[in-house]
Structure 1
Amino acid sequence: MYYPILRGKLNELLALRELAPLELKNFTPVIEPVKTDIKALVKTIEALNSNTIEPYIIINPTIGDFSNLPKNLYEELKKFDYLRYQILYSINENTETYKDFLEINDFGLFIQKGIDQEIINFSKKSKINFIQNDTSPNVKKLISNKVTYEDFFRKQKKNADYPKESPFSSLHSYYEEESNIGFGDYTITGDDFSEGGGPAYVVTIHCSYIDFKRFDELFIRHYSSKDDGTPTNPGAKFKQALNQLIADTETQAIPYSDTVGLEEFKALHLSEHFPGLGQVKKLSIKHHIQTISIYLADQES
């Protein structure tokens, strides 16, 4: 099972809503909400539920509006008792007690720090345990019902710093060998959280693909516009980056999976429309998630 980890920013939630009707196999999102206004979050859970998907919600977020209000999100979501979702309780550097959510009968753990014996003991009360992929193998053996996750995206300070391609992960190809029930990543957004992007001196499109000639590893192609030294005209810069992506799809130089996100990039190229940088990121997220879902479905067939 693939558990993409997303923050509750609007375009990330929109990506999940638009993926929901595709009936993707092996796909359950993890959402860490960042806004006290949860209307968009509720709408996203509704869309997922209507397509038989119950997302995992980190109920005590470590970032965003709820980071200093550890129980507020839980109280807000209880007002929508018709929603179906699974609760994840974050164990992080600020966690002082592991008993805050024991009144919830079914919960999972999202462990964001080193694992000691106390956490191992507490994990036995949890029905699912998200642990960092670089956790010691000896510790991993002591955790049951585990999902390994990591931030594999090699984020750069500036878009101009991205190479043409960077490696991402092979975890999707071997996670079951380590007795995991699933795996997760932060897609093409990375773990770093910010309220909004800076000025677009360079526009970059991130596009994921799995290379079967390189041991099924997932790579990210970075298509960047020229740096003109100014943050003006992001639409023209998007066109420059998009032209490079479309050229690779037309020559089939890169073995991209046929995804909805990629088709939408092609449609934008035909219409010469710039939808905004947030929408561009949304399409990259959709393409990344569907690429991995297609791979997992193919492995089962």
Structure 2
Amino acid sequence: MMNGLSVSELCCLFCCPPCPSRIAAKLAFLPPEATYSLVPDLDGATASGPAGQRSRGGVSGVTGVGPAEAKWKLHLTDRAEFQYAQRELDATEVFFTRSSRGNKVGCMYIHCAPNARFTVLFSHGNAVDLGQMSSFYIGLGTRINCNIFSYDYSGYGVSTGKPSEKNLYADVDAAWQALRTRYGISPENIILYGQSIGTVPTVDLASRYECAAVVLHSPLTSGMRVAFPDTKKTYCFDAFPNIEKVSKIVSPVLVIHGTEDEVIDFSHGLALYERCPKAVEPLWVEGAGHNDIELYSQYLERLRHFIGQELAAQHV
């Protein structure tokens, strides 16, 4: 998250002069070399339902609902380290949507569970893209009985533009609208899930739209609080002010954080939990760091109980 900056460099970022876009770009965004590509599906295989037909080694999808619109195939590179077989790829659809800031946003919908009530709109962490996350999404969705919809931030994967805080909010808005309009999924069946930097667009969206639930995985309170842990107030130039938005979330919120997080201190998760009006029992993973929470058994156990029992009981 900190990108190896010294204290003096951080001070320059915040004080000479303070500029949220510079803070965001230098402290937060580390887009990797793309691990996948979307190529036009020239075979013309017609998409069958929400998940397209696999064609010539790629997963096909359409950019919109019109039959004349372009269809796309997903091609993963070796760096994606995909761990599943053809059947799982066949359940994956890829397409582009466009944000209000004019960027093309790469999207992925994975049909993990045929009778799933909920779809998870997943905003991933830093230094990864959809290609790297695809195997995790399939494993997670299958285990929690949810379909997974995700997208790449501007400048990540196949998404155009440059990473910035404003683009981050426009990207998640575009993903939300695509999920709502393309698949006809109502907000009460959407779970917003943010991991690390992905909690920033998740909190922003959840503060403006009611949904089934929100999951904040290793969240940050604000950019300046990460850089300077003793910060007690939110300054006008602070980036990613989750702490100021989370109190506006009216949906149930599950906070997950490792007690030994070396990137975003555990205190961030605790502070956000205390600000959420409808926070449910959090998951504090004893001994877990920033990137290994998923390896602990209580991670899946808590998500299963939250989605399969707590949320299900509210939707009876």
**Could you state the TM-score of these two structures normalised by the residue count of structure 1?**
0.29
Comparing both chains, which one has the higher relative contact order based on Cα–Cα distances under 8 Å and sequence gaps of 6 or more?
A: 1
